[in-house]
A and B are shown apart, each in its own frame.
Chain A
Amino acid sequence: MLRMIANRLATAVLSLAILITIVFFMTHATPGGPAFSILGQKATPQAVQQLNARLGLAAPLWQQYLLWWWHLLQGRLGYSYLLNRPVTQLVGDYMMNTLALYVGAILLSLVLSIGIGLVQGVTYGRWPARLIWALQLSLYALPTFFVGTMFILYFGVKWGVLPTGGITNLRLEHPGLLDYGRHLALPVLTIGLLGVSGLSLYFGTSVHEELGKDYVRTALAKGLTFRAVLFKHVLRNALRPLVTILGLAFPGIFAGSVLVETVFNYPGLGYLLWRSALSQDYPVISAIVLLIGALTVIGNLLADLVNGLLDPRERYE
């Protein structure tokens, strides 16, 4: 177990280092540069030069690269060019909103997927399973931004039961939890649904596979009821791969949420990324990209470790 942990940790650290390098070159070795977006397109060459010197963008690339590592190790991510706030603070604020969205959406997807997957696995080969499969395929092909827009159109505009965007009602002086919840409902539903197609299909297939294994036959032969076998044995075994899948699904969920947050004007990381990209606010962009990449790497690492805990066989691979 210890060897496996060390192994996976080393891999994760290496991935992070490569990721950091990639992000550096994405943000520093591209034409254009931030000076124009700060000073405007008509900036004089002198002004651009001065600003580049002040932002440390005039030094040779390799010096910038080393400096970038040095600052990262100290946790210094610089200032937003546009909002003139420390990036860490800015990203932290928006991240809390995104976390609320994620936790809600992932819980919703999990609950729905487990329910749907159980039905699909048990009825494998018969019409309910086929119907569910058609549903999963359709859900997979539905773009989040379309779903989100339709939700706004119906729940927000036509029926007027939920707010159309934002995170709180700006007219309220002290928005309560209920107000937050009402604003979260539609984005959570949109992102939650997007996760269901893949997760439920995966879970349904696992349930079906587990049901065909010897231990199920043995348990049934012993006289256990099908329900007991399903919920006590099969469910537990079929749930295990979901841990890995959740780790793998993270970048997909985030990418989906960029669009969803934009649709709902929800001030989360995806929305911030979009705004910053439009104005070429490099420090903010690189911080977000790094954060997402790092979270993915850590997510995969945790998934591996949890699997190692749950299944001793994994420890020796």
Chain B
Amino acid sequence: MSNALGETFHAPGGALRRSAVERAANWLGDRGTLVTGLTLAAIILLFSLIGPYLYTASPYAIHGHHALEAPSTAFPLGTDQIGRDELARLIAGGYATLVVSIPAAILTFLLGITYGLAAALSPSWFDKVLMRVLDAILALPGLVVLIFFSALFTPGNLELILLLGLTSWPGLARIVRNEAIAQRNRDFILATRQFGGGTWYIARAHILRVMAPILVVNATFLVGDSVLALSGLSFLGLGVQPPYTSWGGLLQTGLNLIALDPWWMILPAGLMIFLSIMAANLIGQGLLARFGAAR
């Protein structure tokens, strides 16, 4: 969507990110990038998945006398407008965000690879058709398509996963297709074909294997994109629905009450989204540098 969502709403298209970022990946220490990213990711995962067991306050309990309080020892991150514990909500929001965005990223990944490979290995007229359709889809910002479809019904987790997955794959599909085309005519693949290797065999045993590093790196970026897309959607009120909460939803509540200056309802949720995307991108950059060096 660009990244649509693949490309996400953030920055210019996937193609740009590939070329420019790839060449610039060595501008920071490669190993440092990877280690920082992995550490960040581990902290976020622990916070969201193990957090509920370590910090047992309920994210739904209403403390009527403590509405909209700034952080204190009783409520480390304060309370919201009806007196719910913000730290507990941040943890629950993290769980809700990851439980949707990681499976969605996996779905995007599979769809993107399938479409890209299908285009690369088809007869050239069919490849052209598939690419024209892809161009047209890429002309639509992924978020716009997402908004459209999520307005049609009230999405649950499964619907959100499908929605994000089904709208985010075009960016990856193009990368996979271009890379597979570049690999398709290499000598060893022509030789395999000569020996009678079928298209499906070649795709599975050779092309996918040669492309593995690129695919791994892109899978990492997809997780970041997916978190961003889901958070944006929830921020618009179209993603994770109440009473469940997500980082995007927490930010939205904060914005609605902004005249009251509730910084504790805005800053933590925003930082969590930022750090998750940062972690995914750092890991991706680190892997990119490492694979680049190995080549």
Please report A residues at the B interface, Cβ cutoff 8 Å.
Answer: 11, 14-16, 18-19, 22, 26, 30-32, 124-125, 129-130, 133-134, 137-138, 140-146, 149-150, 152-153, 156-158, 164, 194-195, 197-199, 201-202, 204-205, 209, 245, 248-249, 251-252, 254-256, 258-259, 262-263, 273-274, 277-278, 280, 285, 288-289, 292-293, 296-297, 300
Chain B CB count within 10 A is highest, among A11, A146, A164, A292, for A146
Contact of A32 among B152, B232, B248 (CB under 8 A): B152
Q: Which residues of B contact A133 (CB under 8 A)?
A: 24, 27-28
Q: Across the interface, do A198 and B11 meet the contact criterion of CB distance under 8 Å?
A: yes
Q: Across the interface, do B10 and A258 meet the contact criterion of CB distance under 8 Å?
A: no
Q: Across the interface, do A143 and B232 meet the contact criterion of CB distance under 8 Å?
A: yes
Sampled A-B contacts (7; CB under 8 Å): A144-B10, A145-B231, A245-B12, A248-B12, A255-B143, A278-B151, A288-B144
Question: Would A198 and B20 be within 8 Å (CB), given that A134-B28, A248-B12 are in contact?
Answer: yes
Q: Across the interface, do B27 and A129 meet the contact criterion of CB distance under 8 Å?
A: yes
Q: Which residues of A contact B15 (CB under 8 A)?
A: 248
Complex formed: what's the CA distance from A156 to B285 in Å?
36
The segment from B65-73, B85-93, B113-121, B128-136 that touches chain A is: B128-136
Closest residue of chain B to A158 (Cβ to Cβ) is: B261
Q: Across the interface, do A194 and B11 meet the contact criterion of CB distance under 8 Å?
A: yes
Q: Across the interface, do B20 and A32 meet the contact criterion of CB distance under 8 Å?
A: no
Number of interface residues of B (CB under 8 A): 66
Is B7 part of the contact surface with A, judged by Cβ < 8 Å?
yes
Q: Interface 1/0s, chain B 10-24, versus A by CB < 8 A?
A: 111101110011011
For the complex formed, measure the closest distance between the CB of B172 and the CB atoms of chain A, giving whole angstroms. Answer: 16
Q: Which residues of A contact B267 (CB under 8 A)?
A: 150
For the complex formed, measure the closest distance between the CB of B267 and the CB atoms of chain A, giving whole angstroms. Answer: 8
Q: Which residues of B contact A140 (CB under 8 A)?
A: 10-11, 277, 281
For the complex formed, measure the closest distance between the CB of A286 and the CB atoms of chain B, giving whole angstroms. Answer: 9
Q: Which residues of A contact B200 (CB under 8 A)?
A: none
Contact of A252 among B10, B150, B151 (CB under 8 A): B10
For the complex formed, measure the closest distance between the CB of A179 and the CB atoms of chain B, giving whole angstroms. Answer: 20
Complex formed: what's the CA distance from A122 to B289 in Å?
22
Q: Which of B243-257 contact A (CB under 8 A)?
A: 248, 251, 254-255
